[in-house]
Chains A and B, each alone.
Chain A
Amino acid sequence: KQEVTQIPAALSVPEGENLVLNCSFTDSAIYNLQWFRQDPGKGLTSLLLIQSSQREQTSGRLNASLDKSSGRSTLYIAASQPGDSATYLCAVKSRAGNTGKLIFGQGTTLQVKP
């Protein structure tokens, strides 16, 4: 059974710092991995999607990497800003097609202090 873990559960950093959020999964046979952002009281917004054949994806100050063999993904946030404060979740999809389900980690809550 696929399990997804995110460590740490919470993180507080000063503005401007570069930071890394971690996601690990137990079954390396994944189809893709997705990083989401969730603001308090809101739904989830997709940030980056990495296919199993890819090593990384970048969007602005965000860079996500994927190492399937070790069952790990990282989300790198450069030059953090108070607006980056949110909960970040990773989710893995184990197979292609519409029947493949997303398995979520419990998230890392990030606070960026001005």
Chain B
Amino acid sequence: NAGVTQTPKFQVLKTGQSMTLQCAQDMNHEYMSWYRQDPGMGLRLIHYSVGAGITDQGEVPNGYNVSRSTTEDFPLRLLSAAPSQTSVYFCASGPSGSLYFGPGTRLTVL
């Protein structure tokens, strides 16, 4: 099992650019989620999904879109990047009650 994989590991964007952060898991987990981690703010939930075709907002959803067309994949889209979205992004999946995290994507928006 590869577990939870994320690509890319690093990304630099200019303000206004768009991009998609990829996340995939091979553990057949129904639940998947995206967090961002910022110094002094801890980990905050952006969006989550409880199964293919079902997504919902977390604590800080503004500026981000998600979709879940398959159980394995849960991409996070930034439609128009802003400097405030500079952060480390983690994807996580799990059975009810536990989470497995990916290695993260470090995003810088200039």
Contact = CB atoms under 8 A, between A and B. Distances in A.
Contacts of B58: 101
B42 A107 contact: yes
Residue from A44, A96, A107 having most chain B Cβ neighbours under 10 A:
A44
A51 B100 CA distance: 17
B98 A46 contact: yes
A74 interface: no
A68 interface: no
24 contacts: A34-B98, A36-B101, A41-B104, A42-B103, A42-B104, A43-B90, A43-B101, A43-B102, A44-B101, A46-B100, A49-B98, A89-B43, A91-B43, A91-B99, A96-B97, A97-B96, A98-B30, A98-B51, A99-B56, A100-B96, A101-B58, A104-B43, A106-B41, A107-B42
Interface of B: 4, 30-31, 40-45, 48, 50-51, 56, 58-59, 90, 92, 96-104
Interface size on A, as a range, is 20 to 34
Interface string A74-98: 0000000000000001010100111
Nearest to A106: B42
Contacts of B99: 34, 44, 46, 91, 102
A92 to B, nearest CB: 11
A24 interface: no
Interface of A: 31-32, 34, 36, 41-46, 49, 51, 89, 91, 93, 96-102, 104-107
A99 B31 CA distance: 8
Contacts of B59: 101
A43 B96 contact: no
Given A43-B103, A49-B97, A102-B45, 10 more contacts: A32-B97, A41-B104, A42-B103, A44-B90, A46-B100, A98-B50, A99-B56, A101-B59, A102-B99, A104-B42
